[in-house]
Amino acid sequence: MIVTHSGFMLLRKILGMSLFFAGLTLAYGQSSTTSTDPLNTLTPQPPRRVIGDFSDLVEKASPAVVNIRTTERVTVYQVPSNITPQDQAEFLRRFFGIPIPGLPQQQQPRTPNQAGPKSQEQERGTGSGFVIDSSGFILTNAHVVENATTIYVTLTDKREFKAKLIGSDPKTDVALIKIEANNLTKLPIGESSKVRVGEWVLAIGSPFGFDNTVSAGIISAKGREVNDSITPFIQTDVAINPGNSGGPLINTRGEVIGINSQIYSKSGGFMGISFAIPIDEAIRISDILRTNGRVVRGRIGITITELNKELAESIGFTGKARGVLIRGLDPNAPAAQSGIEVGDVILKINDKDIEKGADLTRTVSEVKPGTKVRLLVWHKGVTRELNVPVVEIDTPRKS
């Protein structure tokens, strides 16, 4: 086919326009279906989880949370306002042993003083708690009610009761009290063993005396060993302040999974780290307190420190640096009488490996006194198995 110059130019224009529109179509199709942008692909994405507000949950849980106020009876000495200097001197002599100036010892007055001891009740502190039984049983912290002469419980409807202390366990910081009331709202009990790090949780309590204050956060960690407690705590970033102690830690299903107990702080106020007693352990302790009024724990009479690489090398321990090193013994206690010596390493208890000191302490404390524990002990290069009796931790020691 012969194409004239003008025809060729027309054909060229038509071809160019066709390629242009084809390019637009291709470009549009790519941007709509197969974009190379990795942030804009067609791969199905899971729906984002949106956390709603907690108002319904709080509305249901709040009536089960109580404010606890404690008082203690103290002895004070009062001095009459109309006393003379001679009376003041006699007061100092009588109660502080300071003689009256200018008088020999034999002439010091011995007349009764008008001032004297007087017993009065004073505020001791405040805390929180929560109802676990509609008949009036309430869980709180042992340190909230420690040394209290009177325990007052205030409900959300402003009714106030005097509470009876059923039992307290300072080792786990759990206390059980009871008020004479019926048909109370109670919190459902969850399972702290199933909590997950990152899970949303709420705290309700009375920080600084402000009743029914709610704060929210997440589970930061589990199994935290804090101070000398035998309880592995739940760590959260929920705001906890003085007065929150004893209040519930609640999951998004409205179940209590812990008792708020401690904070880590350099200022005395909340700094982003708080600790709660797992509810599984708290309920176990409360059941014992309800039955016996106290928790009986076992001991074998040892002082321990966790074994590390340096300690292991210093005593010639060539195995994996695990277990606990014996650094002290009660000579009248079962461990010493069973042949354990200072410098020995306890590797297992009842066939369970000991990874840290709390493993041994917790296991022994939960053994019923009068029974035995089986220990695998390393002694100067040789391992041996010993059956060691457990005695009650509060049993008076022989002199």
Active site residue ranges: 143, 173, 245
Bridge partners for 277 per DSSP: 259
Residues 163 and 175: beta-carbon distance below 8 Å: no
Of 108, 121, 113, which is closest to residue 79 (Cα–Cα)? 113
Whole-number Cα distances in Å, 296 to 140, 302, 394: 19, 18, 8
Tokens of 294: 């106290």
What's the CA gap between 70 and 165, in Å, rounded?
Answer: 12
Tokens of 355: 């990874």
- The CB-based long-range contact list for 230-233 (8 Å cut-off, 24+ gap) reads 230/171, 230/172, 230/358, 230/361, 230/362, 230/365, 231/171, 231/172, 231/173, 231/277, 231/278, 231/281, 232/278, 232/358, 233/261, 233/262, 233/275, 233/276, 233/277, 233/278
Whole-number Cα distances in Å, 226 to 126, 181, 230, 235, 276: 23, 36, 8, 10, 11
- Other beta carbons within 10 angstroms of residue 147's beta carbon come to 9
The vertex-316 CA angle with 313 and 322, nearest 5°, equals 65
